[in-house]
Structure 1
Amino acid sequence: MPTAASAYAGSRTPPAAITSDLTLDEEPTVTTPPSATTPHPRNSGLRIDLNPAAAVARNAVHHGDTVVIRYAGGDLTYARLDDKAARLATVLVHSGVGDGDRVAYLGLNSSSFLVTMLAAFRLGAVFVPVNFRLAEPELEAVLAGSGAAVLVCEEGHRASVDKVRSRTALTRFLLVDDDPEAPTAGAAGWEPWSALITAAVPEPKVFAKYADDAAVLMFTSGTTGRPKGVVLTHGNIWWNSVNVELSLDTRRGDVTYVAAPLFHVGALNSFTLRTLVRGGTVVVRRRFDPQECLDDLLTHRVNSMFGIAQMFAALSRVPGVFEHDLSELRSIVVAGAPVPPSLIELYARHGVLLQQAWGLTETAPFATHLPAERTLDKIGSAGIPMPFTEVRVVDTAANEPVMSGEPGEIVVRGPNVTAGYWNNPEANQAAFDDEGWFHSGDIGYLDEEGYLYIVDRLKDMIISGGENVYPAEVERVLASMPGVVDIAVVGVPDEQWGETVVAVVSVDGSPSVTLEEVRAYGAAQLARYKLPQRLKVVPVVPRNASGKLDKAVTRRLAAEGV
Structure 2
Amino acid sequence: MAFSKSHICQCLSRISTLRRDSPVTITGNRRINGEDFAAGVAALARGLSEELGVGEGDVVAIAALNSDWYLELLLAIAYVGGIAAPLNYRWSFEEARYAMELVGPTVLVVDESCYVWSLELQNYKNTKLQSLTSHVFLGDPSSSLSNYLNMVTTNTIKCLLDGPQAYDYRWSPKGIAMIIFTSGTTGRPKGVAISHTSLIVQSLAKIATVGYGDDDVYLHTAPLCHIGGISTCLAMLMVGACHVFLPKFEARSAVQAIEQYHITSLITVPTMVADLLSTLREERRWTGGESVKKILSGGGGLSNELLKGASHVFPNAKIVSAYGMTEACSSLTFMTNRDPTVQNPRKSLGTIPTIDIDPTPDMKGTLVGKPAPHIELRISVNDNGEDHAGVGRILTRGPHVMTGYWGQIPAEASDSGEGGWLDTGDIGWMDGCGDLWLVGRSKGRIKSGGENVYPEEVEAVLSQHPGVSGIVVIGAPHARLTETIVACVRIKENWRWTTDQNRDPWNEGKEQVLSGKILQSYCKMRNLTGFKIPKIFILWKKPFPLTTIGKLKRDEVKNEASAHLQFIHSHL
Pairing partner for 1:278 from 228, 231, 239: 239
Report whether the alignment pairs 1:51 with 2:51. Answer: no
Between the aligned partners of 2:144 and 2:376, the Cα distance in structure 1 is 46
**2:64 aligned partner:** 107
Task: Report the Cα offset of residue 453 of structure 1.
Answer: 1.2
**Number of equivalenced pairs:** 512
- 1:554 — aligned with what? 557
1:387-425, Cα deviation, whole Å (9 max, x unpaired): 11111111141212230xx21111111111212222212
Question: Larger deviation: 365-374 or 437-446?
Answer: 365-374
Cα distance per residue 1:35-91 (max 9 Å; x no partner): xxxxxxxxxxx64xx333342244224533321222237333323433433333233
Change (3 A) 1:489 1:139: same
1:332 corresponds to? 295
Q: Could you list the per-position Cα deviations for residues 442-478 of structure 1 after superposition, in whole angstroms to 9, with x for gaps in the alignment?
A: 1111122121111111001112233322112223333
Is the 1:177–1:186 Cα contact (8 Å) retained in structure 2? no
**Residue among 366, 377, 395 paired with 2:353:** 377
Q: d(CA) in 1 for partners of 2:286 and 2:211?
A: 24
Q: Quote the residue 1:68 is aligned against.
A: 24
Structure-2 change in CA distance of 1:316 and 1:521 (3 Å): farther
Structure 1 residue 545 corresponds to structure 2 residue 510: no
Match of 1:206? Answer: 167
1:417-445, CA deviations, whole angstroms, 9 ceiling, x for partnerless residues? Answer: 21222221266466222212111111111
Q: Which runs of 5+ in 2 are unaligned?
A: 340-346, 356-365, 498-513, 566-572
Q: Secondary structure at the match of 1:459?
A: coil
Q: Within the alignment, does 1:257 sit opposite 2:219 as a pair?
A: yes
**1:136-175 maps to which residues of 2 (within 5 A)?**
136-164=93-121, 166=126, 167-168=128-129, 169-175=131-137
Cα contact 1:385–1:391 (8 A) shared by 2:
yes
Distance in 2 of aligned mates of 1:450 and 1:62: 38
Q: Is the 8 A contact 1:337 1:549 kept in 2?
A: no
Given that 2:334 and 2:371 are in contact with CA atoms closer than 8 Å, whether structure 1 keeps it comes out as yes
Q: Could you tell me which of 152, 177, 194 is aligned with 1:215? A: 177
Distance 2:79 2:180 in 1: 18
Match for residue 373 of structure 2? 387
Provide the rounded CA distance (Å) in 1 between the counterparts of 2:101 and 2:27. Answer: 31
Distance 1:86 1:383 in 2: 40
**1:417 partner SS:** coil
Kept in 1, the 8 Å contact 2:429–2:436? The answer is yes
Note closer, same or farther for the CA distance 1:376–1:325 as it changes in structure 2 (3 Å cut).
farther
The answer as to whether partners of 1:65 and 1:79 remain within 8 angstroms in 2 is yes
CA distance in 2, matches of 1:346, 1:155: 36
Cα 1:113–1:518, aligned 2, differ >3 Å: closer, same or farther?
Answer: farther
2:358 is the alignment partner of 1:356:
no
Shift of 1:509: 5.1
Instruction: Name the structure 2 match of 1:247.
Output: 209
Q: Which stretch has the larger CA shift, 69-78 or 533-542? A: 69-78
Distance 1:395 1:210, change over 3 A: farther
| Superimposed CA distance per residue, residues 76-118 of structure 1 (whole angstroms, 9 cap, x where no aligned partner) | 3323433433333233121110122111110222223212102
Partner Cα separation in structure 2 for residue 60 and residue 353 of structure 1: 29
1:402 and 2:388 correspond? yes
CA distance in 2, matches of 1:518, 1:291: 36
Offset at residue 503 of structure 1 (A): 3.4
Structure 2 Cα separation of the partners of residues 346 and 79 of structure 1: 40
SS of the residue aligned with 2:419? coil
- Contact 2:80/2:171, CA 8 A, preserved across alignment: no
- Give per-residue Cα distances to partners, 1:458-505, cap 9 Å, x unaligned: 001112233322112223333344465444322232334322333345
**Aligned equivalents of 2:216, 2:550: Cα separation in 1:** 25
Which amino acid in structure 2 is aligned with residue 384 of structure 1?
K
Structure 2 residue matching 1:449: 3-state secondary structure:
coil
Aligned ranges 1:504-523 → 2 under 5 Å:
504-506=488-490, 510-511=494-495, 513=497, 514-516=514-516, 518-519=519-520, 521-523=522-524
Cα distance between partner residues in 1 of 2:524 and 2:36: 58
Output the aligned Cα RMSD: 3.0
1:411 to 377, 395, 399: 395
In the aligned structure 2, how far is the partner of 1:277 from the partner of 1:390? 23
Change (3 A) 1:430 1:249: closer
Q: Which runs of 5+ in 1 are unaligned?
A: 1-14, 18-45
Q: Distance in 1 between matches of 2:376 and 2:271?
A: 29
Select 2:81's aligned residue among 112, 124, 131: 124
The residue type equivalent to 1:443 in the other structure is I
- The alignment partner of 2:542 has SS state of coil
Equivalent-residue separation in structure 2 for 1:126 and 1:163 (angstroms): 23
Amino acid at match of 1:288: F
C-alpha change, 1:446 and 1:144, in structure 2 (3 Å) is same
CA–CA separation in structure 2 for the residues paired with 1:292 and 1:531: 42
Question: Within 2, Cα distance between the matches of 1:474 and 1:353?
Answer: 29
**Equivalence for 2:475:** 491
SS at match of 1:170: coil
* Counterparts in 2 of 1:499 and 1:339: CA distance versus 1, 3 Å: farther
How much has 1:519 moved relative to structure 2? Answer: 4.2
Deviation at 1:549, TM superposition (A): 0.8
The question of whether the paired residues in 1 share the 8 Å contact of 2:185 and 2:554 is answered with yes
Measured in 2, the distance between the counterparts of 1:518 and 1:183 equals: 57
Q: Specify the SS of the correspondent of 2:292.
A: coil
**What amino acid sits opposite 1:224 in the alignment?**
T
| Cα distance, 1:301 vs structure 2 | 2.8
Note the C-alpha offset of 1:554: 1.8
Aligned amino acid, residue 216 of structure 2: D
Query: Using CA pairs below 8 Å that are at least 6 residues apart, which structure has the higher relative contact order?
Result: 1
Report the secondary structure of 1:173's partner residue.
strand
Match of 1:367 in 2: 332
The match for 1:227 among 150, 167, 189 is 189
Shift of 1:345: 4.5
- Aligned CA distance change for structure 1 residues 126 and 515 (closer, same or farther; 3 Å): farther
Seen in structure 2, the aligned counterparts of structure 1 residues 71 and 531 have a Cα distance that, compared at 3 Å, is farther
Question: Is residue 243 of structure 2 the alignment partner of residue 319 of structure 1?
Answer: no
Distance 2:229 2:496 in 1: 34
8 Å CA contact 1:209, 1:234 repeated in 2: no
When structure 1 is superposed on structure 2, of 479-488 and 320-329 the one drifting more is 320-329
Q: Which amino acid aligns with 1:302?
A: I
Q: Does 1:530 align with 2:491?
A: no
150-159 vs 57-66, which moves further? 57-66
CA shift for structure 1 position 527 = 3.5
For residues 310-345 of structure 1, give each alpha carbon's deviation from its aligned partner in whole angstroms, at most 9, with x where no partner exists. 211222333177974645433322222243244334
Larger radius of gyration: 2
Q: 1:503 to 1:300 in 2, by over 3 A?
A: farther
Amino acid corresponding to residue 280 of structure 1 in structure 2: A
CA contact (8 A) 2:258 2:288 kept: no
